[in-house]
Chain A
């Protein structure tokens, strides 16, 4: 393959394999450098407005953090002082000694930390933040009643993790930076500042915002300059002529981007990475998402190819460097948080395909180049997703399925483009904006570069609400009066009264959750403005307001209902056995729930097996799931957020179904106390969908997908044996497309063997490259907590031999 941009001497495949192997071999550690630099800065800015202190802290970090360019890298920029290490964000949240002690030994997101660094954090850094960080300030923002309920480990929802992280969960408008550079943002901010109306009542806030914006851009300039200088000095010292030339090209890139617009494909990719990276350095939030990388890079790729300055293979080589870089960004979470997600899931979503701005098929050679990069690198990050319109060709879908089969690991969910575009337009986006949507995090359809969606602000435990609805609001795990007193199951004369009690509980807790999240977001707006992110969101500069305070054009808070299938199946059992056939008494059901079916295994089996469950295309059973989903969505939507805009309901759970399951007593569905809830938002409960994938797909398609516009997920697991031939794979393509024509919004496949997963549990060393998708996102299987692994294994296997 002829090189046009780079000197000969190393192939695309050699470089990608080298970089990826090195990235995968890293043993992640805690990196304390960021904590030191940020604390230094804050200590020197006491008394200044918070927004300026925050901007200065970012600039200080970008001016002083360790930077490096590793062997064979073409795209540069590091998150911590070493590759794939987790920086500390003390301004958001702290770790106590126990938590730090646990990090190197915990089974999930294991992080090494030296005794010296631990002491440094505990003795020198955290004391300063004890009363100042957002997490610790949260107590001042919640009502006593809220704090009381949140204090229970069995609570219906938990809004506190967001106070430790910042928002993340949005799509920065990196395309604009590629096109115009930060120089245009800088000019705009300076001009707005200069032209600010003296009579504007918000003068102070706006002035400070623009000042902060300019400080951040100074930081960006310093950061890229440091890389340029480093590359130049490394080039000067380099004796290998090939690498010397590459380093000079890197230096030239860093001289220019992201401050100046990108002129070439290579500059565009470098600029892209710098912008995403700096955003992740500034805040502790996850799911800051790439968006439509194939469409964003397409013009640069096509131009360079036409100009004869870049070969297709070199474009792939550069792209694969970017792909590997995504694994550099990991965050340190508390155990209670990481066990819910696990596998160092940053959930940077990168989406391909779909429609172009004219509404035509957008799949192009750049799309296929991205799929090649995905196949070659295949790590959990980026979280690559597939926009699929009826106008996209089958060849594109088949290529994705081919990769999934080849890799035997679930990634790359499909999103129903035509339906989502319509739904987003109904949700307020213009047609142009809707066509340009991308996915945030795991499954959340969001406007590109214009929406602060806070799409995963919280998981809402619907199954817990059912428990409370059947027991007069009393938690059966603790005995605590948690919800309103809506009566006991034995009090309800009709099934409608059961439903009414459930509705009351859901409404009560949704309202509490809305309150707590508005309080949380107020706190973040007060103490942790996201100035850099605001530079990348339409509206913030024009409004002179930070995105954490509603500066962006569109604002939402997304909260996601978990346990739809468990609740629907339980209500089906209650209706059928208590109110229709009178074959079981309400006392018996309550007793079974209270005692976790002690000495009642026969009853449990009857619940499991003698009442039709959601997921088998049985309308009566499925309509219960529709009722639950709609009830939740109606409760959530249209409630106002502190930033403006509305709350948006979603029905997905990532892997929170496991920890949320620990909070819920035994259910009439036959589920035992403390065991995981159903995985994957609107998927049928595992092992309960026994009529095959078309029946499951039809059941799921009955739900109101577009009402849950914050995102849904439907997971389907296949053994590779049923996808052996191209004909079999075409049938899966047909299954996906038919599911979408029936109204499905998202579908995700896990194609792997049960034996493989069990073997991976026992021999993690042999399976490090096995990436699995855990309910809407993907992670290295061996990095997950064991009970999450078990849960994956127990999911229904369609087509099991």
Chain B
């Protein structure tokens, strides 16, 4: 049995695959995108997370902290997040009466996670839903993912995985037959641009998608549209052409949003996208049309 490092389990997820789903969020990601909506996933160790709105400024955390971890300022505690990880994070969170300090990253056995998932079985059955593994990059914890997915398959719960694609091909090969749907992110096709804005090149991502598309896996590609990164008809059309070549028709553009901004601050990270406006449905629609993103080339259906 392999424990997974989980940072959230969200029931009634309705935008992570078909039907009503439970989404399990796994820690750590190979990428570091500035627009990330879940920066608390970064890093493999449990991370302290401070919810400003719940903080009552009682400084119980300061009393429980080691030297230098928490500074009591008039506006509330200031954390040295880098040193507040692992057991220290747990101790500080336990000291907080208000639920303002939580730990993002809890080791859980597959059975333990499965017991939460199976509670919504009747909802999945009615709606055609199931479980979705997300993150971070859930496939970084492939042994845990495999065990959990196996439990779900045995219980006839439909499975989906949201992935960056940036894991060794062997991981995909190993999970064959356990994943009913891949929600696969393709962000940009230019390796240089990809590396500059996400920290890693996209070669392995593209390569894995090619291989995966050659199997009988069900793939739905999603592209977050980020201003200044890939919000041009050319960049999006390039992705569409790539998908056309692989015969992948299911694809969705996701508009850039700012929902992750407060999370950056909550885990002591600086957020670079404050000045970037959220993408309106109209802008997204316009980009989809000008790039003919949803038109599958020469292969009309």
Contact = CB atoms under 8 A, between A and B. Distances in A.
A799 B12 CA distance: 9
A734 B58 CA distance: 43
A605 interface: yes
B123 A694 contact: yes
A406 interface: no
Given A609-B99, A693-B12, A738-B127, 11 more contacts: A602-B58, A602-B60, A617-B119, A693-B11, A694-B123, A728-B15, A731-B20, A734-B19, A735-B12, A735-B20, A738-B126
Contacts of A730: 127
A692 B12 contact: yes
Given A601-B56, A602-B60, A605-B99, A694 B11 contact: yes
Q: Which 9 A-B pairs have the closest CB atoms?
A: A734-B127, A605-B97, A609-B99, A692-B11, A605-B98, A692-B12, A606-B97, A738-B126, A734-B126
Given A601-B58, A605-B97, A735 B123 contact: yes
A603 B60 CA distance: 12
Nearest to A607: B97
B214 to A, nearest CB: 29
A610 B11 contact: no
B98 A741 contact: no
A155 to B, nearest CB: 34
Interface in A705-735: 722, 727-728, 730-731, 734-735
Contacts of A694: 11-12, 20, 119-120, 123
A722 B119 contact: no
B275 to A, nearest CB: 20
A694 B126 CA distance: 13
Interface string B139-162: 000000000000000000000000
Given A693-B12, A694-B11, A734 B123 contact: yes
Given A601-B56, A694-B20, A798 B12 contact: yes
Interface in A617-671: 617
A692 to B, nearest CB: 4
A718 to B, nearest CB: 10
Contacts of A799: 12
Contacts of A605: 56, 58, 97-99
Contacts of A242: none
A698 B127 contact: no
B123 A738 contact: yes
Interface of B: 10-12, 14-15, 19-20, 56, 58, 60, 97-99, 119-120, 122-123, 125-127, 129, 259
Contacts of B11: 691-695
Interface residues of A, number: 29
A737 B126 contact: yes
A741 B126 contact: yes
A395 interface: no
Contacts of A758: none
A602 B125 CA distance: 43
Nearest to B122: A738
Nearest to A728: B14
A801 interface: yes
Contacts of A801: 259
A722 B122 contact: no
Contact of B19 (A691, A692, A731, A742): A731
Among B11, B15, B19, residue most surrounded by chain A Cβ atoms (within 10 Å): B11
Contacts of B60: 602
Contacts of B56: 601-602, 605
B122 A742 contact: yes
Interface string A660-703: 00000000000000000000000000000001111100100000
Nearest to B259: A801
Contacts of A602: 56, 58, 60, 97
Contact of A610 (B19, B97, B120): B97
A303 to B, nearest CB: 38
Contacts of B129: 731, 734
A734 B123 CA distance: 7
Contacts of A727: 14
Contacts of B98: 605, 608-609
Most chain-A Cβ atoms within 10 A of its Cβ — which of B11, B12, B129? Answer: B12
A801 B14 CA distance: 13
Contacts of B12: 692-695, 735, 798-799
B1 to A, nearest CB: 24
Nearest to A698: B119
Given A602-B58, A692-B10, A734 B97 contact: no
B129 to A, nearest CB: 8
A734 B129 CA distance: 10
19 contacts: A605-B56, A608-B99, A609-B97, A617-B119, A691-B11, A692-B10, A692-B12, A694-B123, A698-B120, A722-B14, A731-B14, A734-B20, A735-B12, A735-B20, A737-B126, A738-B125, A738-B127, A741-B122, A798-B12
A741 B125 CA distance: 12
A170 B129 CA distance: 42
Could you say which of A691, A728, A801 has the most chain B C-beta atoms within 10 Å of its C-beta?
A691
A605 B136 CA distance: 31
A740 B123 CA distance: 11
A735 B11 CA distance: 12
Contacts of A603: 97
B122 to A, nearest CB: 5
A722 B10 CA distance: 14
B111 to A, nearest CB: 17
B34 to A, nearest CB: 19
A580 to B, nearest CB: 17
B280 to A, nearest CB: 14
Nearest to A736: B126
Interface in A745-798: 798
Contacts of B15: 728
Contacts of A617: 119
A606 B14 CA distance: 32
A799 B123 CA distance: 17
Contacts of A734: 19-20, 123, 126-127, 129
A688 to B, nearest CB: 11
Contacts of A728: 14-15
A506 B259 CA distance: 47
B5 to A, nearest CB: 20
Nearest to A619: B119
Interface string A466-480: 000000000000000
A601 B58 CA distance: 9
A275 B136 CA distance: 64
Contacts of B19: 731, 734
A734 B60 CA distance: 44
Which of A694, A727, A799 neighbours the largest number of chain B CB atoms within 10 Å of its CB? Answer: A694
B97 A731 contact: no
B64 to A, nearest CB: 13
A793 to B, nearest CB: 15
A605 B20 CA distance: 33
Nearest to A606: B97
A735 B123 CA distance: 7
A691 B125 CA distance: 20
B277 to A, nearest CB: 16
Contacts of B99: 605, 608-609
Contacts of A693: 11-12
A602 B56 CA distance: 8
A734 B14 CA distance: 11
Contacts of A610: 97
A739 B259 CA distance: 30
Contacts of A798: 12
